[in-house]
Amino acid sequence: MTRPVLGAVLPGELTQARLELHWAAQLVSAAGTSLLPAEEDFSHTNLGWDPRLGALVGHDVGAKHARAALVFDGLGLVVIEGERERASLRLSGRTLSQALAWLGSATAGDDAALGLPVHDMPAYPVGEGAVFSDEGAAARTELAGWFEEAFASIGELAAHEDTAAPVRCWPHHFDVASLISLDTKAGAEEPRSIGVGFSPGDGSYDQPYFYVTPWPYPEAKALPPLVAGAHWHTDGWTGAVLTAERVISVPAPEQQHTIRQALARSVAACRDLFGV
């Protein structure tokens, strides 16, 4: 699949589509939340990415090993068995509870009752019983491009890190992330790690952004200079950040390189901070 060119819809115009997709992603996560054994790290609720569909995809569930997916274009749910799309539902005009009932039946049978994952969510009418809208198609397509790039760029970096966790989307914050563990031996008083991720926007930045976070957080005065347009964020959390505005400020052929260079250099800066 051809790599998406980012910036067809400006980063500041993605908020409403992002919030609606965040709520829609809870439906896909509900299948793992309700039908899989609970994991201590909540990994049974997380999601992967299918670039063919442009969709977030959950884990195999039920006797038929079905997977629920959220297709960004068209804002719809799909149930997949193997490589075959067995059932689909457009969310437009339907409430969260209606979609949840349909998904339970489509993944695990008529008697299945799915429950949404329990965590704080941003305010949005869908969460109060309103129906999903049919607006924001261009913004959803743009966000699909950002998610695809995030999974690809973070995945490439993680593939070269022996202790990196799989790249997954976490339904709570709707972020895509991998964690590089630096202290793999037992007994570390406060294990060090480097988080590498992407957010489509949140309370820190109302636009998509990539981030690299060292843990434990170092003192602000110890933070080294960054390159490739990244900067240090220190308000509430500490991490190297590359915003969508910075990414789309470069020519389209350079966007992917800008992202991957910023992530790699920021990981290197965090390693330097920890002396590893």
Render pLDDT for 248-257 as a digit per residue (tens, 0 to 9).
999 999 999 9
| pLDDT exceeds cutoff 90 at 186 | no
Residue 212 has pLDDT above 70, yes or no: yes
| pLDDT bucket at 1, cuts 50 / 70 / 90 | very low
**Could you give phi then psi for residue 247, rounded to 5 degrees?**
-60, -45
d(CA 160, CA 154): 10
- How far lies 155's CA from each of 19, 82, 166, 257, 266, in Å? 25, 23, 8, 14, 15
179, two tokens = 């964690």
Instruction: Say how far apart CA 118 and CA 22 lie, in whole Å.
Output: 14
pLDDT tens digit sequence for 100-135 = 999 999 988 766 789 999 999 999 999 999 999 999
Examine the pLDDT at 230 and tell me if it is beyond 50: yes
Residues 16, 122: Cα–Cα separation, whole Å? 11
Distances (CA, A) of 177 to 102, 110, 184, 199, 243: 29, 34, 19, 9, 16
The whole-number pLDDT of residue 33 equals 94
- The model's pLDDT over 12-25, given as tens digits with 9 standing for 90+, comes to 999 999 999 999 99
DSSP secondary structure letters along 220-262: GGGPPP--TT-EEE-SSS-EEEEEHHHHTTS-HHHHHHHHHHH
8 Å CB contact between 141 and 72: yes
Hey, what amino acid is at 205? Y
Query: What confidence score (pLDDT) does residue 110 get?
Result: 66
> pLDDT class for 270, splitting at 50, 70, 90?
very high
Residue 4 has pLDDT above 80, yes or no: no
Span 240-260, mean pLDDT? 97
Q: What is the pLDDT of residue 111?
A: 66
Cβ–Cβ under 8 Å, residues 79 and 85: yes
Quote the pLDDT of residue 102. 95
**pTM of the full predicted structure?**
0.95
